[in-house]
Amino acid sequence: EYVDGPSLAELIRQSGRLSVERAIELTCQAIEGLASAWSLGIVHRDVKPHNILVSRDGKPKIADLGLAMVVDDTTQHASEELAGTAAYMSPEQGLLAGTPVDYRSDIYSMGATLYHALTGRTPYNGQSTRELMHQHANSTPVPPHELVPGLPPQVSEVVLTMMARHPDDRYQSAEELLTVLRGLLQPATPVHREQGTVRTRPAPAAGSLSASATGSRSGSSTNIRPSGFWRRLFTGGTEA
């Protein structure tokens, strides 16, 4: 499918960085598309700004499934050959050989992509692929709110959870991640109870998390099923 519009990388290059609202909106739509692939047992393995094309009506489309693989019991472990783009690649795709590679690897890469969209820079700036992969596997990026004045710390918390070094420490399903991301855009938090009295929390700063988005994580995982139907282009939760 021909997409009449720029890539996310081009949008970042043109503007320096995206607004928190726009960056999160695009991320949510991209995750909805990736979730369609994940439900078929497909891991993209090369999620990055260059592979997110934004149509003229503002909808992102996930492109370039050239490195995608179907996950099953025989293919879930990292291979000895690097696959992906080092600036956005999960640790298990690189140095952590033997760590299972599944949809949570795409969540990591989507977190690195969101980091770039919010800050205008990649999470790490190693001078070689090996140096970058060592940073992904052993370091924690500078929190985005320390680079962008006015960016709520809660946004950094979500991005860094997406980029947790171990897959088990990341969000464990598309549904969980989308709930948290959409909570960042809520204008006010729900009511909460304190010593038997119902009180309403004041509206937080734009881009902060709602109470529902900061609650305990469910720990549930997306049901990954192997499938041969991987030659698709996914966007916004629907097939292009």
Element containing residue 179 per DSSP (H, E): helix 174-183
Element containing residue 35 per DSSP (H, E): helix 20-39
CA distance 199 to 13: 44
Which of 4, 46, 64, 106 is catalytic? The answer is 46
Token duo for residue 177: 């991640």
SS3 50: helix
**207's torsion region: left (phi>0), alpha (psi -120 to 50) or beta?**
left
3 with 61: CB under 8 angstroms? yes
Q: For the CA atoms of the chain, what is the radius of gyration? A: 18
List all residues 6 or more positions away from 174 whose beta carbon is below 8 Å from its beta carbon: 31, 32, 34, 35, 38, 103, 222
> Can you say whether the dihedral through the CA atoms of 140, 141, 144, 149 is positive or negative?
positive
CA distance 193 to 196: 6
Reply yes or no on whether 46 is catalytic.
yes
CA distance 25 to 149: 20
Q: 170, 148, 147: which is closest to 158 by C-alpha?
A: 170
Active-site amino acid positions: 46
